Amino acid sequence: MRIMANQRSQSFLPLDPAWKSLLECAMVEVFEMMAGVRPEVIGSPEGEPRGEQMAMVGMAGALCGMTTFRCSKAMASKLASLMLGEEAASSPSSARDAVGELCNMIAGNFKSKVSSLANHCMLSVPTVITGDDYSISAVDPSEGFTIAMTLHSEIIWVTLITHV
């Protein structure tokens, strides 16, 4: 009980616009390390994030919110193949695992780049959603930003949403 009371009294960090470049950097580093590829940042992504595979990792502590990762099923399979070998491309569970792990690694890499978050923000285990008929709503008030990158002519979307 004492730990929870201390965490509740802790102040949350506001969203810093400089974090967008840190999240972009985290995405590129994770893709290079985990999949051996370098995605290209799209300056101004059009529309809302879309794709049939989405992972989310919750953040609690100094930053309250979530990181989401969204791509097509085809891209999720390609990422699984790059990370786990060609045989993983035909396994839906490997594709889900790859998307979840990439989201988790991006959130963790981003968190480590912000000194005031590194030891003061916890991450949840990733949750993966398959399908395209859903929407995500964050508790108001919230703010955030979305980064889109292309890899093999497909868009990958990563969003940081924070509760203020």
Looking at this protein, which amino acid is placed at residue 5?
A: A
| Domains with residue ranges and CATH for the chain | 15-36+49-163 (3.40.1550.10)
* pLDDT at res. 2: 43
Q: Is the pTM of this model over 0.75?
A: yes
Q: How far is CA 49 from CA 46, 82, 95, 100, 107, in A?
A: 9, 23, 18, 16, 17
Strand partners, 57: 67
The tens digit of pLDDT for each residue in 91-121 reads 889 999 999 999 999 999 999 999 888 888 9
* pLDDT at res. 11: 65
The tens digit of pLDDT for each residue in 5-51 reads 444 445 678 899 999 999 999 999 999 999 999 999 997 777 888 89
